[in-house]
Chains A and B, each alone.
Chain A
Amino acid sequence: MFRSRPMASATRTTLAIGALCASLSGAAFAQRASAPATEEPEIQSYAINTEVKLSSDRKTRGVSDTFNRPGAELTVDAVHESGLLAHFQLASVSKVTFPNSNRLNPTLALGWRGGNPEGVHYGAAVAREWFTRARVDAPTGFDEQMNPLGMATTNFNTSYLLGELGYGFFTARYLYVASKDFRGLNTSTVCAGYLPAMMAGGDPSSAMNCYGAGFKHSRGTQLLDFDVAYPLNGTTKLIGHLGWQFVRNFSAMNTVDYRLGIEHTRWGFVFGAEIAGAKARERELFVATDGNGVSRRLDRTAVILSVAKRF
Chain B
Amino acid sequence: MPRHALSFFTLLLAALPAYSASPQDAQGLWLSADKAAVIEFKPCADAATALCGQIVWDKDAGTPEDTCGVRIAKLQKFDGEAWRQGWVHDPRDKKNYRGAIRVKHDGKVLAVRAYIGTEMLGETEEMTRTDTVPSGCKAH
Contact = CB atoms under 8 A, between A and B. Distances in A.
A153 B66 CA distance: 62
Contact of A242 (B5, B94, B96): B5
B40 interface: no
Interface in B100-140: 102, 109, 112-128
Interface of B: 1-2, 4-5, 8-9, 12-13, 15-16, 32-34, 36-37, 46, 58-60, 64-67, 69-72, 74, 81-82, 87-98, 102, 109, 112-128
A35 interface: yes
Given A32-B91, A235-B33, A83 B120 contact: yes
A34 interface: yes
A8 B115 CA distance: 10
A223 B35 CA distance: 41
Given A6-B97, A43-B96, A118 B123 contact: no
B89 to A, nearest CB: 4
Nearest to B33: A234
B82 to A, nearest CB: 8
Interface stretch (A67-75, A175-183, A225-233): A225-233
Nearest to B58: A31
Most buried by A among B12, B81, B109, B120: B120
Given A39-B74, A43-B96, A1 B121 contact: no
Given A32-B92, A80-B117, 18 more contacts: A2-B88, A2-B97, A4-B123, A6-B122, A22-B122, A22-B123, A29-B125, A32-B94, A34-B89, A39-B46, A41-B87, A41-B89, A115-B118, A115-B119, A167-B16, A224-B5, A234-B33, A234-B109
A29 B1 CA distance: 42
Given A31-B58, A32-B65, A7 B116 contact: yes
B90 A5 contact: yes
Interface in A163-191: 167-170, 172
Interface residues of A, number: 64
10 cross-chain pairs, A with B, having the tightest CB-CB distances, nearest first: A30-B92, A81-B117, A234-B33, A37-B89, A34-B91, A29-B32, A234-B126, A41-B96, A6-B122, A6-B123
14 contacts: A1-B90, A2-B114, A4-B123, A7-B123, A28-B33, A30-B92, A31-B67, A45-B116, A45-B117, A47-B116, A83-B121, A116-B119, A117-B122, A118-B81
A22 B120 contact: yes
A121 interface: yes
A46 B122 CA distance: 11
A26 interface: yes
Contact of B97 (A33, A44, A115, A123): A44
Interface string A2-20: 1111111100000000000
A31 B116 contact: no
Most buried by B among A83, A234, A235: A234
A9 B102 CA distance: 22
Contact of A226 (B9, B94, B116): B9
Contacts of A79: 116-117, 121
B9 A44 contact: no
B117 A30 contact: no
A41 B94 CA distance: 11
A162 interface: no
A212 to B, nearest CB: 29
Contacts of B16: 167-169
Contact of A80 (B59, B109, B116, B119): B116
Most buried by A among B74, B91, B98, B109: B91
A269 interface: no
A6 B116 contact: yes
A228 B12 CA distance: 8
A33 B87 contact: no
B52 to A, nearest CB: 10
B91 A81 contact: no
A172 B122 contact: no
